[in-house]
Structure formats: structure tokens, C-alpha cells
């Protein structure tokens, strides 16, 4: 975990089975303002700040990230 913290890695996840639809809606509503452009809380990657990989290469991309690669990856089909 310390390595994860020091390399400023971010893990974002949501276990949608743990909450009802109503609870999930409340969580999402609370997050809405962070995604508004004017808030500046969440910033999108700029063009060229990521590497696109095929879905079948996704595991390899995550292994690379775990090993300390500074490369940002987007996994796509």
C-alpha cells in the first residue's frame, strides 16, 4: 500500500451489489458537483497522457502499473 501511495496511484471502484438502486443514486448525486467543469475537482486526461491497450492486453497493462510504471493506460475493446 505504501508503494501505491508514494506513486500516487488511484484505485476507483464501486461494488454495486452492496447497495440498493436508491442508495446508489444518492451516492452518485453527491458526486455530481465534483464532475461539473466549473468545480475543477476532477480533471480529465489531456490527449497523449495515456496509452490505449486492447482489452485482451489489459491484464499486462495492470501488471505494468503495479510494477511501478508511470505510464497511464486506458483499457478498451
Structure confidence by residue, pLDDT tens digits, 20-58: 989 989 988 888 888 776 777 777 777 777 778 888 888
**pLDDT reported for residue 67:** 83
The boundaries of the domain holding residue 19 are 2-76
Highest mean pLDDT (candidates 13-17, 28-32, 45-49, 69-73): 28-32
- Residues 2-27 as b/e (b if ≥16 CB within 10 A, e otherwise) read eeeeeeeeeeeeeeeeeeeeeeeeee
Out of 4-8, 22-26, 39-43, 73-77, which region has the weakest mean confidence (pLDDT)?
A: 73-77
Scan for cell 438502486, then name that residue. 21
Q: Is the pTM of this model over 0.85?
A: no
Name the β-bridge partners of 53.
75
Into how many domains does the chain fold? 1
Instruction: Give the whole-angstrom CA distance, residue 21 versus residue 33.
Output: 20
- Residues 73 and 51: beta-carbon distance below 8 Å: yes
User: In this model, does residue 73 exceed pLDDT 70?
Assistant: no
Amino acid at each position: 500500500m505504501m508503494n501505491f501511495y508514494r506513486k500516487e496511484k488511484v484505485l476507483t471502484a464501486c461494488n454495486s451489489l452492496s447497495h440498493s438502486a436508491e442508495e446508489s443514486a444518492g451516492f452518485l448525486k453527491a458526486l455530481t458537483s465534483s464532475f461539473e467543469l466549473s468545480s475543477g475537482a476532477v480533471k480529465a486526461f489531456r490527449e497523449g497522457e495515456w496509452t490505449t491497450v486492447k482489452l485482451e492486453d489489459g491484464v499486462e497493462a495492470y501488471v505494468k502499473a503495479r510494477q511501478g510504471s508511470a505510464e497511464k493506460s486506458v483499457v478498451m475493446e
